[in-house]
C-alpha cells in the first residue's frame, strides 16, 4: 500500500533569530512534522538547542514536533523534552547503554518513540526494537551539520528496513534525514521511505519559497 509522503522540515536550516516565525511559515507552507535536531557537542560535533527552545516554539504550531536527540547520555533528558512538547522522540541506540529501556521510557511518557540509525549502524540493530517503535530514522549523512551530501549506500538500508517494517504489519514510519533534495527524495521514496527530513531544501529562497519547496520534495 502506498502511503502519503510526509515532509519534516529541519529547523536546523531555519533563521534562528526568527524561529517562531519560521515554524509558523513552514506549517502554513504544508509541513507535516516540525523536525527538531538536538545536538550536544559530545555525541555529535555540533551544539544546537535544548528543551527551553522546544517549549518556546510549541505555541507556534499544532503540527507534531519530531525531536531527534543526538545527545549522550540521552535518558536524563527524555522527560524534559516530553514536557516541552515533543510528540515523537527519536534516539540513537549508541546514545545510552540500554536502548530498549530508553524506548520503554519514551512510551511511558505517552510519546511516539523512534530509533535512529547512523550511516555505519546496520539495519540488524532493529531486530529486538522494531516491535516497540513507531518510527525508524535512517541518517543518510553523518549527523552533526546541515548541508551534507546524501550517502548512496543508505538506500540499501532503507530497502531492508522497509521489508522489516512490512513484515511486522505495524504502523511504523520510515524517515530519512540528510542530503534530501528534489534529486535524492525520489530515490529515498522508491527505496521505501515515507517521511523526508529536509533542511536546506525546505528553507532555501526564504519564506515565499517554502510551499513550492515542500511540494517539490513530495514530487508535485
Continuous H helices in the chain: 19-28, 51-57, 78-84, 99-108, 154-168, 185-191, 200-203, 210-218
- The answer to whether 90 is annotated as binding is no
- The answer to whether 10 is annotated as binding is yes
- The answer to whether 178 is annotated as binding is yes
- The answer to whether 16 is annotated as binding is no
Active-site residue, selected from the candidate residues 40, 66, 134, 177: 177
- The answer to whether 200 is annotated as binding is yes
- The answer to whether 179 is annotated as binding is yes
CA 60 from chain centre, in angstroms, equals: 19
- The answer to whether 85 is annotated as binding is no
C-alpha span between 89 and 79 (Å, rounded): 10
Give catalytic status of residue 177 as yes or no: yes
- The answer to whether 177 is annotated as binding is yes
Active-site residue, selected from the candidate residues 37, 40, 66, 134: 37
Give catalytic status of residue 79 as yes or no: no
Cell numbers representing residue 7 in the block: 515532509
- The answer to whether 68 is annotated as binding is yes
Closest CA to 109 of 128, 126, 84: 84
Spatial neighbors of 145 by CB under 8 A, at least 6 apart, are 45, 46
For every residue of 83-120, DSSP letters joined together read HHT-SEEEE-GGGSS-HHHHHHHHHHTT-EEEEEE-TT
Block residue for cell numbers 529541519: 10
- The answer to whether 144 is annotated as binding is yes
- The answer to whether 37 is annotated as binding is yes
Planar angle of CA 112, 176, 62, nearest 5 degrees = 45
For the annotated catalytic residues, the residue numbers are 37, 177
Annotated binding site for a divalent metal cation: 35, 37, 68, 177
Annotated binding site: 10, 35, 37, 68, 144-147, 177-179, 199-200
Amino acid at each position: 500500500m502506498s502511503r502519503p509522503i510526509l515532509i519534516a522540515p529541519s529547523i536546523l536550516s531555519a533563521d534562528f533569530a526568527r524561529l517562531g516565525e519560521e515554524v509558523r511559515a513552514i506549517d502554513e507552507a504544508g509541513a507535516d512534522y516540525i523536525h527538531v535536531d538536538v545536538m550536544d557537542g559530545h555525541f555529535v560535533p555540533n551544539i544546537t538547542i535544548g528543551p527551553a527552545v522546544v517549549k518556546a516554539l510549541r505555541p507556534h504550531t499544532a503540527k507534531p514536533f519530531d525531536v531527534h536527540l543526538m545527545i549522550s547520555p540521552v535518558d536524563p533528558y527524555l522527560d524534559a523534552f516530553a514536557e516541552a512538547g515533543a510528540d515523537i522522540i527519536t534516539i540513537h541506540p549508541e546514545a545510552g547503554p540500554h536502548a530498549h529501556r530508553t524506548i520503554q521510557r519514551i512510551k511511558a511518557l505517552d510519546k511516539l518513540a523512534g530509533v535512529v540509525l547512523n550511516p555505519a549502524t546496520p539495519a540488524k540493530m532493529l531486530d529486538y526494537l522494531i516491535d516497540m517503535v513507531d518510527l525508524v530514522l535512517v541518517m543518510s549523512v553523518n549527523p552533526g551539520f546541515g548541508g551534507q551530501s546524501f550517502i548512496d549506500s543508505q538506500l540499501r538500508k532503507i530497502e531492508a528496513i522497509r521489508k522489516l517494517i512490512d513484515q511486522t504489519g505495524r504502523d511504523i514510519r520510515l524517515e530519512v534525514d540528510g542530503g534530501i533534495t528534489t534529486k535524492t527524495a525520489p530515490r529515498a521514496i522508491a527505496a521505501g521511505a515515507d517521511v523526508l527530513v529536509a533542511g536546506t531544501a525546505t528553507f532555501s529562497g526564504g519564506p515565499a519559497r517554502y510551499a513550492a519547496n515542500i511540494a517539490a520534495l513530495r514530487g508535485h
